[in-house]
Chain A
């Protein structure tokens, strides 16, 4: 047995638990959607198909993540640090955006609704966090 393999074994156990949990959640959502369709409890809406789509997406994302990572461990101190810094930079960028949107609204340059601002914040936070993390990951470190 290789030295330090217990660390990897422990990491794999945690990962397996996580994947099992996501697989169960995805399957549960698909099953719930199917039951709603078969039982006629959908009420003519899209709830059943939305549930099934979310279930399929969860399973697909999990499978893709497992395929991309292979046998490598999920996270270590470098990836955790990069993840945290990416989120911090994204938070700062979103703060700047909200500051700008505040003044755009205050000066009545553009008519903004609460929905517009929320959507902008959600999009900027998620996309910029991923972009910052990708950039730092390519660079190797946060410094």
Chain B
């Protein structure tokens, strides 16, 4: 899974800690989300997308192999 969280976060001028605080998770979770290493719940994906003024489809990019 790839994400555009880092890019969208930079656009909003937010730090990882800011975003973590906004969505109620630890900073490391944002770090792993940005690296595409953590597969979030639908609820968290929605919270992150809303916090970044975006949509889930924009923030999270699922590839064919992720959906298998």
Contact = CB atoms under 8 A, between A and B. Distances in A.
Interface of A: 2-5, 7-8, 11, 72-73, 75-79, 139-141, 143
| Chain A interface, DSSP helix/strand/loop, else mixed | loop
Given A77-B44, A79-B26, A141-B37, 16 more contacts: A2-B22, A3-B51, A4-B51, A5-B21, A5-B22, A11-B24, A72-B20, A73-B25, A77-B29, A77-B40, A77-B43, A78-B26, A78-B29, A140-B35, A140-B37, A141-B38
B39 interface: yes
B62 interface: no
Interface string B13-37: 0000010111111111100100101
Contacts of A77: 25, 29, 40-41, 43-44
Most A-side CB within 10 Å, residue of B20, B37, B38, B39: B38
Contacts of B18: 2
A132 B41 CA distance: 22
A75 B24 CA distance: 9
| Chain B interface, DSSP helix/strand/loop, else mixed | helix
Contacts of A140: 32, 35, 37-38
A2 B35 contact: no
Contacts of B47: 4
Contact of B21 (A8, A78, A141): A8
Nearest to A4: B22
Given A140-B32, A141-B37, A72 B26 contact: yes
B22 A78 contact: no
A50 to B, nearest CB: 35
